[in-house]
Structures are given as C-alpha cells and as structure tokens.
Amino acid sequence: MCAPTTKLGLLICSDLFFTSKVTGTAQALGLRMEAVDDIASAVTRLSNGEFSYVILDLASQNASVPELLTAIPSSVSVPVIAFGSHVNVEQLESARAAGAEVMPRSQFSATLPDLLRRLNELV
C-alpha cells in the first residue's frame, strides 16, 4: 500500500519573510510548497499542471486574483486562496468576486497550519 502523496501548493508572495513563514510551516507539516514572487512566474509554473492550489498575497507586486485567473490556461483548475490587508476592502472584495477564497492577513496567519492541511486534503 502506498502512502498518499501530498499536494503541491504554489505561493505567490514577494515578502521574503512571509514566504519563509508559509513555506516553513508547510515543510514542518510535511507538505510541499513552492514560491514565486509575481503573477507572470506563477502562470508559467501553473501551466504545467503540477500544482493543486494557489495561495496569493494580494500585497505582492500589485498582484490581483482577476489577473491571475485570466492568465491561467483554461486547462488548469486550482483553488485560489487570497489574503491581504484588512483595510484594503476593495482589493479583498475584488478577489472574492473573481472566485478566490479570501481572508485578511491576520486570519491567514492565525489559521495557516489548518489551512494548509485542508488544502492538502482537497481532491
């Protein structure tokens, strides 16, 4: 019997300290996570179909969920989790309207281990 394979997540974040926090948490949980710092790199990486989910820091180089979802090839279907500043309501609402699961950065940080576990359990 083979052990289940962990999903591969893609983090889009240009903040090196926060990237380390997310990827370090994933690693500590035995989960796989790769990181890029911009939408163009993410789209290139996503086109190969190996990623199971995307986590997007809305503060990253003017990253936007609509831009990301428009640029991803139609053959790729992955859940997108977006997080950002709670005071940037318009950006959070835009991400939600584009189809992402959205949360403020504080909630994302507080629930990160559970969120990563949940994403790894998705089909």
Compute the average pLDDT of residues 90-118.
92
* 90 found inside a domain: yes
* 51 found inside a domain: yes
Q: Please give the residue range of the domain that contains residue 94.
A: 8-103
Compute the average pLDDT of residues 99-114.
94
* 116 found inside a domain: no
* 121 found inside a domain: no
Residue 61: per-residue pLDDT? 67
Is the Cβ–Cβ distance between 81 and 117 less than 8 Å? no
Q: How far is CA 73 from CA 2, 8, 10, 44, in A?
A: 31, 18, 15, 10
Q: Which two tokens stand for residue 81?
A: 């989790």
Is the Cβ–Cβ distance between 99 and 72 less than 8 Å? no
Question: What's the structural domain count of the chain?
Answer: 1
Using CA atoms, how far apart are residues 119 and 79, in angstroms rounded to an integer?
Answer: 9
**pTM attached to this predicted model:** 0.88
* 3 found inside a domain: no
Across 28-32, 58-62, 107-111, least confident range: 58-62
* 120 found inside a domain: no
- Residue 2 — very low, low, confident or very high, per pLDDT cuts 50/70/90? very low
* 19 found inside a domain: yes
Helical H segments across the chain, by residue range: 16-28, 39-46, 65-71, 89-97, 105-121
Per-residue pLDDT of 47-88, as tens digits, reads 888 899 999 999 886 677 887 877 777 767 889 999 998 888
- Residue 11 — very low, low, confident or very high, per pLDDT cuts 50/70/90? very high
CATH number assigned to the domain comprising residue 70 = 3.40.50.2300
* 110 found inside a domain: no
